[in-house]
């Protein structure tokens, strides 16, 4: 072997040093300077968005790291805040991408451990040092990712499109950058320093190598493959764990599960879920005998059957050999169905908002059924609407339930008039329709441009009709209830309701539970005060207003006989119901022995006197608040209806109130420990009135109407005046969108409503 002499070696080393020095300076100096000259305010926004995305995707930063970032941002030194945050995030970075002043991309390995899980997903960060202020999209490429196409035997596909077994072996991963909300789009911000989320899923277990290259457009790759790194991953094998799920009666059932490892990562990772599991939920629903794939590790699982069950948590360890199965016993704290009270959510969607829309055109009834069964709802009204209407209406079966129904959880397809020409007047929920297409309409665009014609069409076929997410457009800047501020009537809630309610047998209910309760209840109270008898229903508007779960807002109806969809909507129409978030219950509400929903919910009194009010109440709160922040939130921030808002101080007590003409007149406190309590009140009635019971903002009964001396309810002249002013305000907002063809009938209807309210003003007494 030839040996170099020192005089000869030194020039060679010097030449190599000169050749490498620009790269070395760029690679090392960039990292050292990356936290300098970074404006703090936009950097904080970027990092907070990153943390929100990681939480949403089921792989949050550790609590310690989140606290360190929070502490760094609370400091006064901007440079120190950036550098301290950079030190935290760098631990999660698999790649460091440096974009030079000439927009050349250079990539180095980061310090994140290259660990993956078979049939699962891991998230890493990509650190971007952007010396050029580039705002082009960052692109990741790899020969180890891509859809695998294997032609069928005898295929005539060209050879160029076929994959060999070697191709299949190499394409073991799915590698991409997460550029969807809550992250910004794929374009870089132009900040000198930012981080992006790299998503890697593995088909295999064991050790696999992936080549990752990054660029910000054609020609930006640095010379000599310097924009590429090779990473050897260690991939833990997944083990299929069979879940045994047992209900309180000893029968197999379905439950909601959230599996997290000791790093807080959710399994299966939401980002790669496909229906029937939904990517926008932390939980998955599994029935007895179904399984979950988990790699070796320590896990915490939270499981429940919905708000009628106690949420429980347990820990377990997965090794290469055990466990092969886990058994979960659900613990109900209440079962209203045993007393004839059945739960339903009348506003669930199979497409649009958070749902998948393409290429599957939303999800199928089997996927929706898992949501309904998993939350132990008795009825799920799955509403076809604007998004994917033409595809989803194929699941509509008229007045028959969908075959995905079970004996205790009915799935029934109906319609929300949303995304239709009349939507601006207020979205309509139409239940138990026989036909889903408006007469003469071939497209959505052919439907009426205001609500009354649609309501009349629905009622002509025996449907039960009401307004969705009622509070939208009815916002007011007060907590007072009732209040006499005329809201904007400028959105999609129970806006044109103020007109439609003046026509008998047109509007059956307004919905509550998914918008702020003051906005929802105020318009309802006002119209009850002048003698109208609409009812209330509970809804979620899943997955639009909320995508956490179905049944967040529920209607509980009293059914004397068999649970059927027809019996459910009939009880809703007759007012044998209360609404609830499922955490509190107001069953068997009665006045002078007449139960709500019976005898047209009417009690006749010969003269003023006392009314005896009875209700069976129950509520459940954990001893310590699951989230102390909920009780302190303003009423117009989510979650709008939640029993935690009713908690009295640090106790488990909540107030049960009797309401007469919208005003609370009696109150008792109960302990929210799950016990069922029979409450009785005596309240004075001096004139014809309506009475209801509530636990705000968690549950509210339908009203019972007391007629004194046969006189109609005209409880408040101020309410009648409010209604008249509201018609005028509503007209200013809705009339510009009513078609010229329909305008004469609309003018006639609004004038009719004005005349009705003027008459009611003359008939109503002062408070």
Mean pLDDT of 200-204: 92
Residue range(s) defining the domain that contains residue 101: 23-149+163-223
Task: List Cα–Cα distances, 320 to 115, 236, 240, 530, 660, in angstroms.
Answer: 17, 10, 11, 69, 64
Are 560 and 592 in a shared domain? no
pLDDT for 20 equals 37
Q: Looking at residue 621, which CATH number applies to its domain? A: 2.60.40.10
Q: Residue 19 pLDDT more than 90?
A: no
Kindly provide the residue ranges of all beta strands, DSSP E only, lying in 623-763, ordered along the sequence: 653-660, 663-671, 677-685, 689-695, 699-701, 704-708
For 324-354, the pLDDT digits (tens) are 999 999 999 999 999 999 999 999 999 999 9
CA distances (Å), 674 to each of 188, 334, 386, in order?
52, 7, 41
In tens, the pLDDT along 642-676 reads: 999 999 999 999 999 999 999 999 999 999 999 99
CB atoms within 10 A of CB 27: 17
Q: What are 115-167's pLDDT values in tens digits?
A: 999 988 999 999 999 999 999 999 999 999 864 333 333 333 333 445 577 87
Q: What is the 3-state secondary structure (H, E, C) of 332-355?
A: ECCCHHHHCEEEEEEEECCCCCCC
In a domain, 2, yes or no: no
Tens digits of per-residue pLDDT, 348-405?
A: 999 999 987 665 689 999 999 999 999 999 999 999 999 999 999 999 999 999 999 9
Average pLDDT over residues 535-560: 97
Q: How far apart are CA 693 and CA 703, in angstroms?
A: 8
Do 531 and 680 reside in the same domain of the chain?
no
The verdict on residue 1 lying in a domain is: no
Mean pLDDT of 74-83: 92
Identify whether 267 is part of a domain.
yes
Confidence of residue 37 (pLDDT cuts 50, 70, 90): confident
Of 580, 603, 634, which closes a domain? 580
- Report DSSP letters for 400-428, one per residue: SPPTT--SSSEEEEEEEE-SSGGGGG--E
Q: Of 522, 555, 580, at which residue does a domain stop?
A: 580
Residue pair 423/496 in contact by the 8 Å Cβ criterion: no
Pick the closest to residue 124 from 196, 51, 47 (CA basis): 196
Confirm if 107 and 228 have CB atoms less than 8 A apart: yes
Considering the domain architecture, whether residues 256 and 358 belong to the same structural domain is answered as: no
Whether 589 and 528 map to the same domain: the answer is: no
For residue 5, being part of any structural domain is answered with no
User: Who wins on pLDDT, 108 or 36?
Assistant: 108
Is 186 found in the same domain as 113?
A: yes
- pLDDT at residue 767, rounded to an integer: 63
Verify that 574 and 594 share a domain, yes or no. no
Tens digits of residue pLDDT in 495-527: 999 999 999 999 999 999 999 999 999 999 999
| pLDDT at residue 166, as a whole number | 80
Per-residue pLDDT band for 765 (boundaries 50, 70, 90) equals confident
Query: Is residue 420 located within the same domain as residue 561?
Result: yes
Is 50 exceeded by the pLDDT of residue 56? yes
pLDDT band at 14 (very low <50, low <70, confident <90, very high): very low
Mean pLDDT over 544-568 rounds to 96
- The whole-number pLDDT of residue 359 equals 56
What are phi and psi for residue 297, nearest 5 degrees? Answer: 155, 180
Whether 12 has a pLDDT exceeding 50, the answer reads no
Among left, alpha and beta (phi > 0; psi -120 to 50; other), residue 632 is: alpha
pLDDT of residue 300: 97
Residue 142 lies in a domain: yes
Residues 519, 475 within the same domain: yes
User: How far does Cα 264 stand from its chain's mean position?
Assistant: 21
C-alpha span between 275 and 76 (Å, rounded): 47
pLDDT value at residue 16: 36
pLDDT at 766 over 80: no
- Final residue before a domain boundary, out of 281, 309, 329: 329
pLDDT at 361: 86
Co-location of 390 and 530 in the same domain: yes
Residues 70 and 96 in one domain: yes
Do 44 and 189 lie in a common domain?
yes
Number of structural domains in the chain = 5
Residue 290 within any structural domain of the chain: yes
- Lowest average pLDDT, out of 138-152, 458-472, 557-571, 711-725, goes to 138-152
Which 3 state secondary structure label does DSSP give 65?
Answer: helix
How far is the CA of 247 from the CAs of 305, 411, 486, 543, in angstroms? 9, 21, 49, 27
Mean pLDDT of the residues in the chain: 91
Q: Is residue 563 situated within a structural domain?
A: yes
Q: Give the pLDDT score at 273.
A: 87
Q: Residue 389 is part of a domain; what is its CATH number?
A: 3.20.20.140
The answer on 111 and 54 residing in a single domain is: yes
- Specify the pLDDT at position 34: 60
Within a domain: residue 4?
no
Question: Which of 77-81, 576-580, 748-752 comes out lowest in average pLDDT?
Answer: 77-81
**Overall residue count recorded for the chain in this entry:** 767
What φ, ψ does residue 736 adopt, rounded to 5°? -60, -20
The pLDDT value given to residue 119: 86
> Confidence class of residue 36 from pLDDT cuts 50, 70 and 90?
low
Q: Cα angle at 377 between 372 and 381, to 5 degrees? A: 65
What percent of the chain is predicted at pLDDT more than 90?
84
- What does the pLDDT average to over 611-629? 91
């Amino acid at each position: 072997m030839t040996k170099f002499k020192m005089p000869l070696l030194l020039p060679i080393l010097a030449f190599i040093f000169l050749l490498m020095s620009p790269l070395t300076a760029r690679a090392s100096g960039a990292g050292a300077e990356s936290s300098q000259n970074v404006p703090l305010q936009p950097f904080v926004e970027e990092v907070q968005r990153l943390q929100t995305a990681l939480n949403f995707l089921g792989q949050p930063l550790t609590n310690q790291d989140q606290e360190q970032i929070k502490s760094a941002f609370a400091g006064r030194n901007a440079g120190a805040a950036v550098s301290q945050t950079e030190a935290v995030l760098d631990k999660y970075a698999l790649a460091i991408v440096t974009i030079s002043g000439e927009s050349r991309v250079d990539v180095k390995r980061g310090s994140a451990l290259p660990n993956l899980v078979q049939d699962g997903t891991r998230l890493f960060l990509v650190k971007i040092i952007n010396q050029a202020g580039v705002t082009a999209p960052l692109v990741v490429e790899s020969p180890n990712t891509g859809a695998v196409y294997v032609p069928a035997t005898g295929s005539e596909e060209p050879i160029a499109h076929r994959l060999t077994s070697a191709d299949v072996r190499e394409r073991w991963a799915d590698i991409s950058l997460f550029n969807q909300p809550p992250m910004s789009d794929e374009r870089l911000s132009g900040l000198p320093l930012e981080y992006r989320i790299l998503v890697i899923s593995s088909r295999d277990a064991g050790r696999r190598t992936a080549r990752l290259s990054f660029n910000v457009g054609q020609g930006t790759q640095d010379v000599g493959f310097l924009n590429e790194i090779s990473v050897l991953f260690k991939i833990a094998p997944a083990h299929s764990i069979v879940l045994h799920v047992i209900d309180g009666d000893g029968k197999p059932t379905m439950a909601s599960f959230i599996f997290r490892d000791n790093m807080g990562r959710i399994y299966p990772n939401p980002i790669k879920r496909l229906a029937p599991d939904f990517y926008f939920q932390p939980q998955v629903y599994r029935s007895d005998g179904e399984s979950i794939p988990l790699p070796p590790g320590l896990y915490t699982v939270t499981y429940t059957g919905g708000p009628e069950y106690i949420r429980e948590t347990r820990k377990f360890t997965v090794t290469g050999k055990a466990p092969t199965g886990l058994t979960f016993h659900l613990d109900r704290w209440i079962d209203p169905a045993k007393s004839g009270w059945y739960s339903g959510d009348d506003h669930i969607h199979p497409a649009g908002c958070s749902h998948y829309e393409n290429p599957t055109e939303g999800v199928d009834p089997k996927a929706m059924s898992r949501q309904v069964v998993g939350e132990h709802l008795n009825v799920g009204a799955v509403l076809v609407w604007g998004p994917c209407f033409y595809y989803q209406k194929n699941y509509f079966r008229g007045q028959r339930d969908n075959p995905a129904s079970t004996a205790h959880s009915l799935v029934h397809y109906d319609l929300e008039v949303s995304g239709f020409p009349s939507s601006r007047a207020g979205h309509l929920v139409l239940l138990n329709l026989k036909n889903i297409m408006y007469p003469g309409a071939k497209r959505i665009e052919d439907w009426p441009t205001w609500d009354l014609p649609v309501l009349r069409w629905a009622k002509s076929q025996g449907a039960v009709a009401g307004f969705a997410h009622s509070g939208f457009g009815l916002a007011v800047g007060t907590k007072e209830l009732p209040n006499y501020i005329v809201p904007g009537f400028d959105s999609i809630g129970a806006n044109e309701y103020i007109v439609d309610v003046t026509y008998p047998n047109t509007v059956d209910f307004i919905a509550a539970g998914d918008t702020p309760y003051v906005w929802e209840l105020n318009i309802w109270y006002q119209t009850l005060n002048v003698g109208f008898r609409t009812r209330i229903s509970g809804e979620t508007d899943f997955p639009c207003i909320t995508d956490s779960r179905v049944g967040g807002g529920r209607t509980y109806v009293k059914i004397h006989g068999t649970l059927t969809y027809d019996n459910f909507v009939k009880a809703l129409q007759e007012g044998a119901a209360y609404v609830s978030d499922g955490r509190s219950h107001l069953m068997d509400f009665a006045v002078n022995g007449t139960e709500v929903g019976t005898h047209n919910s009417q009690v006749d009194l010969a003269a003023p006197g006392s009314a005896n009010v009875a209700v069976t109440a129950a509520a459940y709160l954990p001893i310590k608040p699951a989230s102390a922040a909920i009780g302190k939130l303003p009423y117009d921030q989510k979650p709008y209806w939640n029993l935690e808002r009713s908690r009295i101080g640090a106790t488990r007590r909540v107030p049960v109130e009797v309401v007469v003409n919208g005003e609370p007149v009696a109150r008792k406190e109960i302990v929210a420990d799950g016990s069922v309590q029979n409450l009785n009140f005596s309240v004075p009635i001096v004139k014809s009135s309506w009475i209801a019971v509530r636990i705000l903002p968690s549950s509210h009964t339908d009203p019972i109407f007391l007629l004194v001396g046969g006189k109609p309810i005209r409880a408040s002249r101020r309410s009648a005046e409010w209604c008249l002013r509201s018609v005028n305000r509503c007209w200013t907002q809705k009339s510009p969108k009513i078609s010229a063809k329909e305008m004469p009938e609309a003018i006639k209807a609004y004038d009719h409503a004005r005349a009705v309210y003027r008459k009611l003003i003359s008939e109503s007494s002062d408070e």
